[in-house]
Structures are given as structure tokens and as C-alpha cells.
Amino acid sequence: MRRIAVLGLGAMGAALAETLIAAGRPLVLWNRSPERAAAFSGRGVTIASSPFEALAETPLVLACLLDYRAVSAVLEPVSGHLEGRTLVNLTNGTPQEARRMAEWVAARGGRYLDGGIMAIPQTVGSPEAFVVYSGATAAFDMASPVLEAFGRAHFLGRDAGLAALCDLALLSAMYGLFGGFLHGTALARSGGIEPRAFAGLAGPWIEAMTGALPHVAEQIERGDYDAAGGSSLAMQTMAVENILAVSGAGRVDPALVAPMRDLMARRIAAGGGGEDIAALIEEIAPRGMPGSPHAPL
């Protein structure tokens, strides 16, 4: 087995390295601050003193750094040594950054695969972890037996920007979830319900609600949001107004919930009172505009 290079041993890079060590993969590790690489000494890995030394050892290079600026800073000095190598970049960034990086690597004779890790360091390699990839198909085919160790590997296509887009879309859903949970926790605490007791109720409730996501997605694809005797916006907006009223009384800042009330009001004013919550997508990404369900980016 040829060695695999891991560039970047922060919280996530170190978790990736640990996972590959557990999978019995031979590794060469590099990190800007040498002490993070030195922490792996005696674990049967090679410690490289420079990115050049790391690349020299392997055809497969994994990068997991803070941002694309860091990736460029690390790779530019060794750009003459990318020919024939596959770079898998697991650094968070924008689709534009990923596409630029893919072109830059290809211009130097290398293959580029972009990845978005849908796990935290503690869950890398666990059954719930997955990673979205896009870029050179040959790079995915070559690297996927290694990459599967991190979690299920989903290849989204040859557009190197797709993985970053999907990563950011999934993170958007996550931030909405945490934002809602934080507001709910503050509200509950204003009445003496402690955060852990609230979490015990919120977990099963949110889990049950995620069961509705396929139906919401179907409504968006059909462009038909009729609530059909279910949970209309006209009904839901009353609950949201009550949330905001109680938040004000309990001195909880409405910043995380008020935007939902505003979107509902806009949709209802446009005649959508009988529609389901899925209709709000038309307020943030109207049909026919970039980002709408009918005009993919």
C-alpha cells in the first residue's frame, strides 16, 4: 500500500489521521505547527517536515485546513510536484473556491476532488458520518476505498463546486436547527424549565418533525404548497406571533425567530394563507430566479 499524505492536523485533520491509522493505512503527516504532527510520533506514521516531503511520499494527498487561503499557502510552493497526484481537499469553502482550486490543480497535471465532511471530529468514521464529494471521477474512483473510512462517500458529480454547495446547504439546515433550539431553550428557561429538561423534550420533537422533510421536498418539487386541511400558514402564523409575544415578555431576543414571522406575513399577504410552510421557499428563492427549485445554480 502506498502512503497517504494528510496535510493539516487540526481537530478534524487529526480525527481523519486517527481514522486512517485505525484502518491500517500507512500515512505521512504534516502540519504547519510541528507539535501537532509530533503528537503522532511512535504511531507507525511518517512525520514530514514540509509539504514537499509529504507529497514526495505519495500519489494521494488529503488536505484539511482552516480555509482555502491556507490550502493555497501550503500548496503553492509545491505546485511543481502535483503532476500525477490526486488532491482530496476536505477544507470548508465556497463552490467558486473549489472550482478555482480544481482548475489550478488540473493545470499542474493533478486530479482534484473536493469534499464536505458531514461529521464532527468525534463522529468521523461512525455509522452516521458521511462525506459529499465532487470533482474528477477518476480521483473519486481511486480514492474512495480510502475515503470510505471517514463515513459514507457520496459522489455528487464532476462539477468540483457541488460538494462545497451541498456542504453549505447542509450546514444551513444545521444552523437553522441550532438557532431554533437556542431560542426554545431561552424561552423555556424564562419559565424555569432547565436546558437539559428542555433538550429531553426537544430532541424527540425535532426528530419527529424531520419525518416531514420528504413531504416538504416533494411540495417544493411540485411547486404545489396547498396545506390541504393540514397546517396552513394562516394557522401557523398565530403560533409564531405567540412565540414572539412570549419572547418579548420573557426578555428573549426574537432575532432567531422573527425572520420566519416576516416571511409568513409576506406569503400570506400574497395570498398564501392556505399554503403549507414549504411555500416560504418561494419568498427566499422565487421560481425562475437563481437558487429557485426550477433554476438550479
> Where does this chain bind ligand FVH (CB under 6 A)?
8-13, 31-33, 36, 64-67, 70, 73-74, 91-92, 117, 120-121
Evaluated on CA atoms 148, 149, 151, 156, the torsion sign reads: negative
Q: Write out the three cell numbers for 196.
A: 437539559
Q: Looking at beta carbons only, is 121 or 273 nearer to ligand FVH?
A: 121
Q: Looking at beta carbons only, is 13 or 272 nearer to ligand FVH?
A: 13
The C-alpha atoms of residue 46 and residue 206 are separated, in whole angstroms, by 45
Q: How far is the CB of 40 from ligand FVH (least distance, A)?
A: 13
Q: Looking at beta carbons only, is 68 or 225 nearer to ligand FVH?
A: 68
Q: How far is the CB of 105 from ligand FVH (least distance, A)?
A: 17
Q: Torsion angle, CA of 259/174/199/241, rounded to 10 degrees?
A: 10
Q: How far is the CB of 143 from ligand FVH (least distance, A)?
A: 17
Q: How far is the CB of 16 from ligand FVH (least distance, A)?
A: 9
Q: How far is the CB of 90 from ligand FVH (least distance, A)?
A: 6
Name the 3-class secondary structure at 135.
strand
The C-alpha atoms of residue 115 and residue 105 are separated, in whole angstroms, by 15
Residue 59 Cα distances to 13, 82, 153, 230, 276, angstroms: 18, 9, 20, 56, 51
Q: Looking at beta carbons only, is 29 or 233 nearer to ligand FVH?
A: 29
Name the 3-class secondary structure at 258.
helix
Q: How far is the CB of 14 from ligand FVH (least distance, A)?
A: 7
Q: Looking at beta carbons only, is 73 or 199 nearer to ligand FVH?
A: 73
Within a 13 Å sphere around the CA of 140, how many CA atoms are in the beta-carbon half?
20
Report the residue number whose CB is nearest to ligand FVH.
10
What phi-psi label fits residue 251: left (phi over 0), alpha (psi between -120 and 50 degrees) or beta? left
**Radius of gyration of the chain from its Cα atoms, rounded to whole angstroms:** 23
* Contact call for residues 134 and 156 (beta carbons, < 8 A): yes
Write down the H helix ranges in the chain. Answer: 11-22, 34-38, 51-56, 68-75, 95-107, 137-147, 161-190, 195-210, 213-222, 233-249, 258-269, 281-284
Q: How far is the CB of 91 from ligand FVH (least distance, A)?
A: 4
Q: Looking at beta carbons only, is 17 or 260 nearer to ligand FVH?
A: 17
Q: Looking at beta carbons only, is 28 or 117 nearer to ligand FVH?
A: 117
